[in-house]
Structure 1
Amino acid sequence: MRKAERLFQLITLLRGRRLAVTASKLAEILEVSERTIYRDIQALMLSGVPIEGEAGVGYRLDARFELPPLMFTSEELLALLVGSKMVQTWGDSALAVGANSALDKITAILPDKLKGNNQHSPIVVPDYFKNTELALLSQQLRSAITEQKQLAIEYTDVNQQLSQRTIEPLGLVYWGAKWTLVAYCQLRSAYREFRIDRIQSCQKLSQSFELANEKNLTHYLQVMEAANG
């Protein structure tokens, strides 16, 4: 985590609490050492942030301190809330944590007149059908995409035929009903789409792969657009 991001998180944590917070608790939340917290608090105080500290008690932020409000309209805030809920419901666990953290940061510095919108959104994204196993698989796939590692998968197609493939994962696409893994299939030497709910097993291999002008997610989407244009 970069220092600027950590300093912002410190302010957010202190703003959200009425009582003082100890350095050890802050260090635990931010997953850094207490020494780092001491340095960060000092840096914030030197920059003019009114943090009060007492030995053995902890730190608190002057209640009168205000960060410049984010200039969100009601529609912009609703879009952020719905998007966050969609990520929490349909994404993997790591993305869900990121969505929660981002929303907490935004909510902490919203003007009071917009904070109520956070509690009364007219759009609901229910999590009744969230599949924990698919969420874990999605996280594994996203890791392989980021690291550009080949995958060995067992896949059942629409005709219930099982096949083994070695693929180069390029991206995850949500079509509005199902997540699909877009990959370059070594068996077919072409792009292929794999619904992740039909992937029976998945193993990340040690072999890496390289992207090319005609082997990447952007090119795949261009091909799809041309075919359906």
Structure 2
Amino acid sequence: MRQDEIWDADAAQRYDTPGSGMFAPEILGQTVDRLAELAGDGQALEFAIGTGRVAIPLAERGVPVTGIELSRPMIDQLRTKADETTIPVVIGDMATATAPGSYSLVYLVYNTISNLLTQAEQVACFRNAARHLIPGGRFVIELGVPELRRLPPGQDALVFRAEPGYIGLDTYDVLRQHLVSHHFTFDESRQARLDRSPHRYIWPAELDLMAQLAGFEMETRHADWTGAEFTAESSSHISVYRIPRSR
């Protein structure tokens, strides 16, 4: 499925979950705090801005935010909360679309770079971020660590979360470095809803090489937005890359 088929009007309507999940204050607050610190006095550009989960509170902190977004329905949902003057958005692919202006911060949150399904597209995304940044500017990526160590030998599926009313299951194609996330939601009835999204997973070392190809230097990597140490057991990371001040 193409990304614009996945992020359709139905997905946009169901995306926001105020106060819970990725919208929980303890998650969102830490994200915005760190991004505001990294942006400093400059402007921020969010790749795949979606419905404005991060951009809106970041703008409320005084950071000018522009977005790039492929899905028109997601932008429509954003527009119910913030107008074009508050948060301008360019419609297009985050690997190629250009936003006007120069930025001190470009960021990609919640595994979104994995929505690009080829290595070439992911490298192009890094290069696109670099084009938008001023010298010394930063590119921030939030990304999960592939859980292949948990995958039983001979099997290609792994349950990553199971709770009342929800089961999350990933199926892996290790040859192509792809996975499909399956999200089952259900209630007391006999019916369930299935939503799926394809991804190309990236190891941290491969991500670092992509950054080098685009002219970035590694600045920091932590396990979460609070700055916890990244270890071999970490399930995700916040990686900050920086454009050298002289280039």
TM-score range, shorter chain: under 0.3
TM-score (norm 2): 0.22
Write 1 or 2 for the structure with the bigger share of helix.
1
TM-score (norm 1): 0.23
Higher RCO (C-alpha under 8 Å, 6+ residues apart) = 2
Q: Which of 1 and 2 has greater Rg?
A: 1
